[in-house]
Amino acid sequence: MKPLLPILFLSTLLDTVHAADQPMQPARTKPLKAEYTIYSGELGNEQAPSKSDRKLAIEINGPAAKDIFDSLYPDAKITCSGEQGERLRSKGNLWCSFLPATGYRCFLGYDLRAGKDIPGASC
């Protein structure tokens, strides 16, 4: 059993050295279909932006939304619409939904005056 340990160590070391020799692959940039709103007030009761209150809500649709949805897991235990087949996933203030009738959508927001992320939509 003891001769096996140095062989495993050497094998792991060689794998690590080989991986280090591989060129790094940069992440691909992909197109994004999105809409945005700059508003003041609260979600669900958005008003025109003001000097002191400006928030950004972004909705991402299509293949980009599916890619983001697939990167967030697991599914949330709650749903918003009650539509059969609805799925929600979220991390922090980024959340995505899937509805069979409309497909994938992701939402994020940013408070432009406070400089912090906020929800981009509400149920």
* Cα–Cα dist 88/98, whole Å: 7
* Cα–Cα dist 29/74, whole Å: 25
* DSSP per residue, 83-102: -TT-EEEEETTEEEEEETTT
Q: What is the pLDDT of residue 123?
A: 82
pLDDT over 50 at 8, yes or no: no
Of 102, 99, 97, nearest in space to 72 by CA: 97
Q: Which residues contact 49 (CB under 8 A, 6 or more apart)?
A: 38, 39, 40, 55
pLDDT tens column, 31-46:
999 999 999 999 999 9
pLDDT over 90 at 72, yes or no: yes
